[in-house]
Chain A
């Protein structure tokens, strides 16, 4: 909370912002995928991330598995859970008014958080694996954040390649552009919905596993990510997948920048105020061209 900002401080803010932002981008891509494909706002996205974090914690504390390798377990597990959620619950409200899908995913989110409380208690858990920082001149990079950023960038890139190049990825994009036309072209929309929900959950799980090494784990840790992800896709333009990437980096930078001037508590409110302001100025998102 100083008034003088040195270039080193600014450099630190930019680096920290980009490191955090890349993670936001990956997690938000999942939320954006569900919203783009089904027009469902998945309030349970953050709680799914929390489950990913617990998978990593659990594997680390019981069998000592490297937390980064645990991504190979958390992502498929959550993919499966996402497909099941879609197949058994969410598919019923895809065409219903927004309130229905919002409430169903909210109900799911309460249930997940409370199951986690029953299973793991509300105690704070930590994966003590990687501490310390790389120091480069006046700027310090936390090691766990650098690795998380690298993995997040790789996973995000893979997701983009999948969406751009594969038949399935093209089918997903086709459904998010027009479900009717996609259906006429012979795409199994129900299957695409389930796969999109699974992929989104796997992306959330990856976020959780990476975050597990950086922050304390507890059942209610996820909610804030739901909101941040929503903010990211609003910044980037709902239904605009590259926009999510830019939105994520932007959110990371804004958060770090505002932390120079404000206390952490107020800093949280900045994201909310920002969200409302962006919605008011550009209801389709900063990069969003077409109205939804």
Chain B
């Protein structure tokens, strides 16, 4: 009975989101598009860091890579935008493979810092290879006059990444990842090829940001090194995932919705205090609620992992 009610609610919500652009204002559509973006990003970070405990402190590197890959194939090869954004996801996954191969052998803070370094290196590279990226001047994409197609594509990406989280969390693969998180040495001793599973998770976690970066690049029509490799974006996705509950299916979604709404309603009025508040929220969430909202509920009410 309760289950039927939940299914009905979910169906209504989905239908509402599908039909929204037909009635919604241009501003509303753009706002929802950004929310989808944050859901996809927070959920992607969750796939590697929430599940394996390996903190990716430079996950925006995949977003930036996707944005540039998309921008380059659109401007140089005149690909259609959707194919270009999928290309962005693919390039990000290949980068994850190349970077993950050495870096996932690093432990604890070393992995976090290596990822931070990767992002900085890519940012510098983006301004250095001027012929390809336009350097510091950036890259202008042909203008797109409607956000609605991007709205659907971004929504689909957010749903896809969340579905991926569901599939992983309910599979043996997910269990293995969580074993690595709890005790990597024990996991190794149990015969789990930890490196291989970490690499798979890392690769999967890069696809979403790659596609999202490509879609945002298309939507904004302009990319430059500092706008697509900002450290703060990594931090925002981490905080959203933490706030809702890392290592759960719906935690990153909940965190993204709440913090995004909070940001639109409250922070917009305090432009100067915006980041200060953000820093305070990070500290507060980590100290007071390290498991996030869903993590706390899960523990308190003994809810299943598939939440």
Q: Which residues of A come within 8 Å of B, CB atoms?
A: 41, 89, 92-93, 96-100, 102-104, 106-111, 113-115, 117-118, 227, 230, 234, 265-266, 268-269, 272-273, 275-276, 279-280, 283
Contacts and interface: CB of A to CB of B under 8 A. Distances in A.
Given A102-B112, A106-B235, A269-B124, A280 B105 contact: yes
A31 to B, nearest CB: 11
Contact of B283 (A108, A227, A230): A108
Contacts of A230: 113
A203 to B, nearest CB: 20
Interface in B257-292: 272-273, 275-276, 278-283, 286-287, 290
Interface of B: 49, 53, 55, 57, 102-103, 105-110, 112-114, 116-118, 120-121, 124-125, 127-128, 235, 238-239, 242, 272-273, 275-276, 278-283, 286-287, 290
A262 to B, nearest CB: 10
Contacts of B114: 275-276, 279
The 5 closest A-B CB pairs, nearest first, are A110-B279, A107-B282, A111-B279, A107-B283, A272-B117
A273 B128 CA distance: 15
Contacts of A104: 282-283, 286-287
B287 A111 contact: no
A102 B102 contact: no
Contacts of B118: 272, 276
A114 B276 contact: yes
B225 to A, nearest CB: 10
B163 to A, nearest CB: 25
Nearest to A105: B283
Contact of B290 (A98, A100, A102): A100
A98 to B, nearest CB: 5
Contact of A283 (B110, B121, B235, B238): B110
6 contacts: A110-B276, A227-B117, A265-B124, A266-B124, A268-B120, A280-B106
Report whether over half of chain B's contact residues are helix, strand or loop; otherwise say mixed. helix
Nearest to B50: A99
A99 B55 contact: yes
Contact of B102 (A107, A110, A227, A280): A280
Nearest to B239: A103
A113 B238 CA distance: 20
Nearest to B284: A107
Given A93-B287, A104-B287, A107-B280, 6 more contacts: A103-B239, A110-B279, A273-B117, A279-B106, A280-B105, A280-B106
A108 B55 contact: no
B282 A103 contact: yes
Contacts of B121: 269, 272-273
A98 B120 contact: no
Nearest to B238: A103
A89 B57 contact: no
B125 A269 contact: yes
Contacts of B280: 107, 111
A25 B55 CA distance: 27
B124 A110 contact: no
Contact of A103 (B108, B117, B242): B242
B229 to A, nearest CB: 12
A89 B273 CA distance: 21
With a 10 A CB-CB cut-off, give which of B106, B108, B125, B273 has the most chain A CB atoms.
B108
